[in-house]
Structure 1
């Protein structure tokens, strides 16, 4: 068993044994994320952390002057993982700009595609990437005492998932060898097929357009989707209890582990999966149709819901520069002074942003990353919101709003209830995700971000069952139109809001003379990976890693940083599209060999 260090004295009164360590690039994620930390081995905690991204891409620059109808095809290429989320968000922004409302069937098809994307991406990340952090090989290398305890610990839900001990679960997660690891890979193929049935191609949709989709809708199409979905539902009936057993064991085996990756609860969710009965994409009605989404938008601070109004959410977005490699644009003429409701729009809102890159040498006391610092202004404070990896914020916001009840999923004000119907070999099953707490306080940490990812897979599957029913009803009634015509206006401002796999996603567009005058996509990465802002506030990765306790049993000479990596990967990091490595001995506060974080894993 590994225990957390005692924190009897303030940091300035304790003996410190600081060692600078770097993990760059972070393995098992997409992109160029680096973590630079000072680890205090005397007190077994991280004293300081900086998050960096070494790549500039510039989509907001080369979108200018483009035909707005091309926006979703171009912005889809922002990411080779969740490109369809960008395409969908761009289409939403275009629908607003063109004042077009897709037919209901077209919206159900988009929802089915997005639900399949959530299932696909969360499955492959949870089981084949972040799951390795908890596999038997990793635990053996970093916490052999915990593995010995896992061998002796019976799994409480063994009858549901089939693994007798916690160690058996860990062995099943071993990369390339574990049976569950391999099963999850096969499942990811099925979910990708589900997406392609709806939107033609993964990950850059070929049938998704403003005004709807070009998919030919038939009962056979939805039957093919439903057949695959039913297999996934059966899979999830085993996955949820398996992960509950694993994560609960981690808490029991390492008392104090709730502090790993913990930060103040400041969560953002922009909502996703529109209800075509209510969504007309008009900004003037956005407060209402936003609340009718099947994932309810919301900003949660210290466990309480601040707002679930998309207009408030939109107007509160601020883009700060702080420690990023850009020049300020505060003296530039704003593109937008008021929104369509007459509300003033801040100069630091995405509608008014100018992207002015300024490459320079990395300096942790000044500028050190290409990631800007999005913040949300609550009227008094600029909050460094995070997404909880996506699912934690989505479930938390939906639960608190208590607006959803479609049979398969229901929000209660404090939880989300998920009903999965009878499948080939397993009975009807009900899961309840409850807002996480520890000693009566709301809890946002590494374990709960991962746990929420498992539950949201089941949530997505349950929603997809409902979407399938609605789509089939449309076809049976002869409502087979999937697209509505539109015209591009000479002047417009618009925004699209949805949830990418790993969290909040917005696209803000300004059209002048029929062309794009300004365009800014803000995916979850800038929010989660943001750097210290203009006021010195660290971004969520940095904040979550700083002060996190170290439970790894290895001495400094063979330290892998598994607790740090679990914290970062719990956010499901994705920094497309290249990996830029820094090689060298680096600067150390004392002589110490610091091996690469994980070797072949």
Structure 2
């Protein structure tokens, strides 16, 4: 199937774990010349781990603590998916106050994660391509930030995400790897001090999100039109902008997020029958142009192109421990290929927004405590198959939503300070259960089977297994492999691309003694002293390829490969 000449990016940086991406280029001929684009892409998870095997034979109550160590970026979602799987196996439901505390803890975590991704992991490419200095890393140092605004939002994001993590620590004991959840409830109570400390931080977080994050997104959206016009002219193609970069399959899967503490039965309904978890803040669903109820029996993992000797096409509850086979001839990844109803589905923030709000969003930006009003965050999905800009828009929308709901949950906790926090249960001799949660990167599934009071089987199907999957038994590429097809591979450096898009000498660096420059020359002045003049350049057969746009596509899915592969020899 493989082994033609390929452009290789290994490893992809600014992500958790080890990801290799291979690209087969082809020529696109237009009236302005020949241009290289991606014909086919192959995503390889090259990390080799063993969590499902490690958990076997242990006390079931250990699982939610141990599975947090799968990832240092997204430990909290693993804890929540695991604790819900354990609760299903124990036949116990958390108390209403515990659900509220969990929503606060995980809501703060979500704010941190979406800000970090938007500004630190994906933001640099967006800032460079869209000529938007606040989101460019502060390559010209403190002077560049203070005098030119280069990296001002980037730096602000680092500070504000810390405030969100402090809230996680207030309720979880520490971050990462919080310690306060327990099957049936929490090991921490709502106190006036915890509530007040969290509210104080939320005031700062909410204002930054409302005033900086929203403004930055709208500025990028406006600049995106210029990008579309410039690239259309340069390549002589119909290119609207970043909505035409990174389109995948048009299928989107969400497990739901933030259950209603007064209607937890609705949250649990998906374990027995198809459900949309419609009382939760974010709904479950399978979107293929409209949202259908989530049916977990339709989830299966395929391994034809994965380094496993396991049976292919099984639901997680029917899977055995991983059986590695590194010599498998067709395989190219440690990731499996999850599919829903036999089709390729994308998971992540855009999947959550589509399954909850459809394609048009109007989110009030209003402080629930002070009444401070910043109008609405309004957005209509620009590409029904997904895109770089649509995924970013979804993260911004979810950060606004979550920031406001954390306020409401904190205020509601005031009436629960003397309520029972945990429904205790002894470890059953036998039991099994699913935990279904949405990590920031997308749908996260944990499955546990208990036998003789110990873990007999444990499975994780995580967001990046969905998004970064290899081809399946039917030859269908994964979501990111699909999204990379057709992406432009310029034979130019980053400064040269930027000069082609923005030839005007309108970047005033006189405050740093450099005078007026074009955007590309300004970037060159910043990158060259750092040894980054050939940023994102890869070589094949003596030719250079700039992979900035392909990396932007990959990073728009917020990869976490540490989560995606779990094997031990």
- TM-score normalised by L of structure 1: 0.76
Match for residue 25 of structure 1? 11
Structure 1 pair 92/359, CA: closer, same or farther in 2 (3 Å)?
A: same
SS in structure 2 at match of 1:559: strand
Instruction: Measure how far apart 1:173 and its partner are.
Output: 6.4
Structure 1 pair 171/573, CA: closer, same or farther in 2 (3 Å)?
A: closer
Structure 1 pair 298/49, CA: closer, same or farther in 2 (3 Å)?
A: same
SS in structure 2 at match of 1:228: helix
Q: Does 1:216 align with 2:189?
A: yes
Contact 1:267 1:385 in 2 (8 A): yes
Match for residue 555 of structure 2? 569
Structure 1 segment 297-312 matched on structure 2, within 5 A? 297-301=284-288, 303-305=289-291, 307-309=292-294, 312=295
SS in structure 2 at match of 1:297: strand
Structure 1 pair 226/175, CA: closer, same or farther in 2 (3 Å)?
A: farther
Match for residue 371 of structure 1? 335
Match for residue 124 of structure 2? 132
**Counterpart Cα distance in 1 of 2:311 and 2:429:** 25
**Counterpart Cα distance in 1 of 2:314 and 2:275:** 26
Structure 1 pair 551/445, CA: closer, same or farther in 2 (3 Å)?
A: farther
Match for residue 257 of structure 2? 272
* Structure 1 segments of 4+ aligned residues over 6 angstroms from their partners: none
1:261-283 C-alpha deviation (Å, 9 max, x unpaired): 11221111100111121114756
Match for residue 430 of structure 1? 375
**Counterpart Cα distance in 2 of 1:427 and 1:110:** 26
Structure 1 segment 233-248 matched on structure 2, within 5 A? 233-238=206-211, 239-248=213-222
Match for residue 465 of structure 2? 526
Match for residue 505 of structure 2? none
Instruction: Measure how far apart 1:288 and its partner are.
Output: 6.3
Match for residue 503 of structure 2? none
Instruction: Measure how far apart 1:45 and its partner are.
Output: 1.5
**Counterpart Cα distance in 1 of 2:196 and 2:416:** 14
Contact 2:490 2:546 in 1 (8 A): no
Instruction: Measure how far apart 1:29 and its partner are.
Output: 0.9
Instruction: Measure how far apart 1:321 and its partner are.
Output: 0.6
Q: Does 1:464 align with 2:422?
A: no
**Counterpart Cα distance in 2 of 1:434 and 1:189:** 28
User: Would you tell me which structure has more helix in proportion to its own residues?
Assistant: 2
1:450-491 C-alpha deviation (Å, 9 max, x unpaired): 22112211111012122112212222xx32x22111122222
Contact 1:322 1:536 in 2 (8 A): no
**Counterpart Cα distance in 2 of 1:278 and 1:571:** 32
Match for residue 502 of structure 2? none
Structure 1 segment 54-133 matched on structure 2, within 5 A? 54-133=46-125
**Counterpart Cα distance in 2 of 1:214 and 1:249:** 48
* The one of 402, 410, 417 aligned to 2:363: 417
Structure 1 pair 260/482, CA: closer, same or farther in 2 (3 Å)?
A: same
SS in structure 2 at match of 1:107: helix
Match for residue 31 of structure 2? none
Structure 1 pair 394/209, CA: closer, same or farther in 2 (3 Å)?
A: same
**Counterpart Cα distance in 1 of 2:309 and 2:250:** 31
Match for residue 296 of structure 1? 283
Match for residue 226 of structure 2? 252
- TM-score normalised by L of structure 2: 0.80
* The one of 291, 306, 321 aligned to 1:355: 321
Contact 1:29 1:574 in 2 (8 A): yes
Q: Does 1:386 align with 2:346?
A: yes
Structure 1 pair 183/513, CA: closer, same or farther in 2 (3 Å)?
A: same
Match for residue 473 of structure 1? 415
Q: Does 1:316 align with 2:298?
A: yes
SS in structure 2 at match of 1:30: coil
SS in structure 2 at match of 1:383: coil
Contact 1:317 1:349 in 2 (8 A): yes
Structure 1 pair 463/528, CA: closer, same or farther in 2 (3 Å)?
A: same
Match for residue 232 of structure 2? none
SS in structure 1 at match of 2:546: coil
Instruction: Count matched residues.
Output: 487
Structure 1 segment 155-234 matched on structure 2, within 5 A? 167-171=132-136, 177=145, 178-234=151-207
SS in structure 1 at match of 2:53: helix
Structure 1 pair 443/543, CA: closer, same or farther in 2 (3 Å)?
A: closer
Instruction: Measure how far apart 1:94 and its partner are.
Output: 1.2
**Counterpart Cα distance in 1 of 2:184 and 2:457:** 21
Q: Does 1:399 align with 2:357?
A: yes
**Counterpart Cα distance in 1 of 2:334 and 2:140:** 32
Contact 1:279 1:289 in 2 (8 A): no
Contact 2:251 2:385 in 1 (8 A): no
Q: Say what the alpha-carbon RMSD is for the aligned residues.
A: 2.6
Match for residue 530 of structure 2? none
Match for residue 593 of structure 1? none
1:220-265 C-alpha deviation (Å, 9 max, x unpaired): 2111101101111100112112212213312332241332111221
Instruction: Measure how far apart 1:519 and its partner are.
Output: 0.9
Match for residue 508 of structure 1? 447
1:422-449 C-alpha deviation (Å, 9 max, x unpaired): 888x9412333444035xxx24111211
Match for residue 493 of structure 1? 432
Structure 1 pair 571/362, CA: closer, same or farther in 2 (3 Å)?
A: farther
**Counterpart Cα distance in 2 of 1:107 and 1:30:** 29
**Counterpart Cα distance in 1 of 2:352 and 2:140:** 29
**Counterpart Cα distance in 1 of 2:135 and 2:437:** 34
**Counterpart Cα distance in 2 of 1:291 and 1:245:** 33
Match for residue 504 of structure 2? none
Unaligned stretches of 5+ residues in structure 1: 1-17, 140-145, 148-166, 331-346, 401-412, 580-601
1:3-61 C-alpha deviation (Å, 9 max, x unpaired): xxxxxxxxxxxxxxx96211110011111011110123534321111000112212122
SS in structure 2 at match of 1:135: helix
Q: Does 1:483 align with 2:422?
A: yes
**Counterpart Cα distance in 1 of 2:477 and 2:70:** 25
